[in-house]
Amino acid sequence: MSAAAPPLPDDLVAGLRRLKLATIRAQGPEILQTARTQRWSVEDVLRTLVGVEISARDRTNQQLRLKAANLPVFKELETFDAQASSIAMGTFDYVASLEWIRARENLLLVGPAGTGKSHVLVGTGLRAVEHGLRVRYATAADLIEQLYRGLADYTVARSIASLLRNDVILIDEVGFAPLDETGTQLLFRLIAGAYERRSIGLASHWPFEDWGRFLPVPSTAAALLDRLLHHSVVVVTSGESWRLKEARARASGRTPVNAARATTTSSHTEDSATLRS
C-alpha cells in the first residue's frame, strides 16, 4: 500500500478555500504526491490541477442547467427510433445537431398524440443542456399560468425577461386547452420577445391552420404564427400512437415497432417537403 498523501499546508488550504477551488483543495494532496513520485514538470502539475477543477465545475454547471431546464423526464434523442419514422434523416440530424438553436431558429413539431413530438422536444432540450446551452421547458398551460401570476403581481415583464435569458424555450402541449384573450396576448409577448433573439421549440397536435380553435384573437394568432414560422424547422408527425401500439404489443406479448411516423414540411409551403428557412 502506498503511503497516504500528506495534507496541504494550512495557508494553501485557506487560499484555495478563499478562491473557491474546492476540487483542487480536495484532490491536491494526491495529485501532488503522484507528481513527486513521477517527477512531473511544474506545467504538468498545474495543468492537472486546473483540469480537475474545470471538470468538476462543468459537472456542477450542467447539473444546475439541467435543474433549471425543468424537463419532465430524461428522454434522449438516441432512444428515438428515427429510422422507423419517416422523418428525413437530414432533418432529424439537423435538429439533433442543435445548429438551429445557434442560428436562433425555431423547431415546430405538429401532429397527433403519441407520434414522438414530446420525445424529440425533450431529447433536444436534454442534449442542449449537455452542450452548455440554457434551456427552459414548460407545457403551454404551465407557461401561461406562470405569466398570469406575473400579470397579477405586476412582474410579468420580469418573468418574460427571465425566460428570454435561456438559449431555447421549449413549449409542449400547445393547444391542449384553449386560451382566453389575455392568455393569447401573454403568449404573443413571449414569442415576440424571442423573435430573432432566442429559439422556440414547440409541440402541438393542432395543424397551423386550426390554431384559431384555441387562440381566440385571429389577428394575434396570425402575428404569433408569422414570427414562429419565420426562420423555422417544421416537422409534421403522423401515424398511429406508439403508446397504443405498445399497449397492444404488451397484451399480445410482442415487441412493438416504433409507431412514430413523421413527414416534414417547409415553413414556407404547405406540402410535405422538408426545408429549412
pLDDT by residue, tens only, the chain of 277 residues: 467 889 999 999 999 999 999 999 999 999 999 999 999 999 999 999 999 999 999 999 999 999 999 999 999 999 998 877 767 788 899 999 999 999 999 999 998 887 889 999 999 999 999 999 999 999 999 999 999 999 999 999 999 999 999 999 999 999 999 999 999 999 999 999 999 999 999 999 999 999 999 999 899 999 999 999 999 999 988 766 666 766 777 777 765 544 444 444 444 333 333 334 4
CA distance 85 to 89: 9
CA distance 151 to 154: 5
168 neighbors 68 (Cβ within 8 angstroms): no
Query: DSSP class of residue 139?
Result: E
- pTM beyond 0.95, yes or no: no
CA distance 236 to 204: 10
User: Which amino acid, one-letter code, is at 142?
Assistant: D
Question: Could you give the domains of the chain?
Answer: 10-67 (no CATH), 70-265 (3.40.50.300)
The predicted pLDDT at position 242 comes to 62
Q: Which of 80, 195, 196 is nearest to 127 (CA)?
A: 80
What are residue 237's DSSP bridge partners? Answer: 262
Instruction: Name the residue with cell 401573454.
Output: 186
The predicted pLDDT at position 277 comes to 45
How many CB atoms are located within 10 Å of the residue 208 CB?
18
CA distance 87 to 237: 8
The predicted pLDDT at position 241 comes to 66
* Distances from the Cα of 29 to the Cα of 24, 66, 149, 258, 266, angstroms: 9, 31, 51, 52, 59
CA distance 19 to 139: 40
210 contacts: CB under 8 Å, gap ≥ 6 = none
CA distance 92 to 90: 6
